[in-house]
Structures are given as C-alpha cells and as structure tokens.
Amino acid sequence: MKNVNVLLVEDSEINQLVTSSFLEKNGIGVEIANHGREALSMIAAKKYQLVLMDLQMPEMDGFESTRQIRSMSDPYFKTVPIFAFTSSSMVDTMEKVKQSGMTDFVNKPLMVEDFQWKINKYVVKTPLQKESLRTLSIDFNLYTDGDPKSKWQLIVLMIGNILELIQSLHLAIDQNNPEVFRKVYYKVKPTLSMLADAELMAVMDELKNHSFNKKQEQNIIMIFHRLCESIIKGLEHEQTTIIKKLPEK
C-alpha cells in the first residue's frame, strides 16, 4: 500500500485515532478533515489517491461533501475514489452512497483484507481487475425470497466471511499454527456450502489439512487467493446489480 495518501474525513476523535493508526501501520499516508466542509478545502490540493468519507458529520455530512467534490471542474475531482466509511451496510444507505457519487464503501472498523482489496481495485488497479467475473452458483432467491435488502445483507456477510478466511490463512502462516485457519474454516462453512463452488471446496479440503510450512505446497495458497478474490469480485458485482435496480429518487 505504499505511495497511497488518504484523506480521512471523520468527526470522531476516537475513529480518527484508530483509523489513522491503522493506515499508518500499513504504510499509508493520512491527513484528517474533521467534517465535509474542511474536506472540500483540503482536497483542492489534489494530492490524495483516496478519500475515506464518514457519512454523518457536523458542518457538512459526507453525502453533500461528495456531491460538491464531484461537481468541481477538474477531472481529478470526478475520478478520485471516495469510499463511504460507515458501520451501516443497509441497502438504503448504499443507495444514498451511490446517488451522492461515492465510489464504494468500507466498513468501520477497517479490516486489512477488505481495505487491501478495495485499494487494489480502485487505486493500485492490479492485473486481477482484468480477469472476468467468476460465475456464482448460488441462487440468492432461495435464501432471500427475492428481497433485495435481504440479498444485500447476505452478500455483505458472505464477503465478510471470505475476508475473514483469507485473514486467518495469513495468521496461520505467520504463527505456523494450522488450527487458526481450521477454526475459521468451520465457522464460515455455511457460506462455502451456499456458494457451492466446486473448485474452492476442493482447495479448502486440501488447505484444512495443510501444515503451512512446506514450500512445495505454496501453490495451493496462491490458488486459494485467486479463487477468493474472484468470488469476492463476483459478489460485489451482485451488489452492483442490486443498486442499479433501485429506483432513482
């Protein structure tokens, strides 16, 4: 995440401290705006690769601040990624995020894997973005009865489970402790069963018995990452289709 400078727009001093510490720990430069109006002044410097925008703030909220940024004439302001920084994953909130011109959203508190994924997707733009969407086998209507809000919430939970699985793999490798991964595997197994991805399940069957210390087996870890990332991309595409179907207000 080097060479990424973030404008954090957040009015809570606690959230400022926790989030800026997280960003700096991961090698990301960060400057803080205390509300949306201050963000308008600071972003004029055009030195940020990303904006983390809280939604509810005094002076000017994140929605209005984003709309004003997008209305500025320079192409930078039209394209700089602006992430809604929110603890809400409700579909009506995401509709407002879309309409205000924000690029995507990230959850509070930040998760390493989730944030890395979004950085790669919108800022670094890794070769992964050139891959086609992975076809998902899951029929969401079986679990949501066709309700878009329920589908959105289910997808949020599924993405969170996959990200937790990826994070547990890193911890298992770092700690040379396979049990760390196995515990999370059994926790998220319902999500894996719902996805019914045969290739991923085959990899999981191998990884759950993995020792995480044999170099000749590292290829399976690369395959696991590729599959998880392509599945997340497919799930995010499903989120996009939900938003697009919502009526404009």
Q: What is the CATH number of the domain that holds 46?
A: 3.40.50.2300
Question: 101 and 194: one domain?
Answer: no
In contact, 172 and 224? CB cutoff 8 Å:
no
Instruction: Give the residue carrying structure tokens 């870890």.
Output: 221
If asked whether residues 98 and 150 sit together in one domain, one would say: no
CB-neighbour burial class of residue 153 (10 A; exposed 0-12, middle 13-18, buried 19+):
middle
Tell me the mean pLDDT in the region 127-153: 78
Instruction: Give one word for 183, left, alpha or beta, with left for phi > 0 and alpha for psi -120 to 50.
Output: alpha
Domain of 15 in residue numbering reads as 5-125
Amino acid letter at 199?
Answer: E
Which of these ranges, 4-8, 108-112, 208-212, has the smallest mean pLDDT?
208-212
**Do 10 and 121 fall within a single domain?**
yes
pTM: 0.61
For residue 48, CA distances in Å to 3, 7, 98 come to: 10, 6, 21
pLDDT tens by residue, 148-186: 888 988 998 999 899 888 888 877 876 778 888 889 999
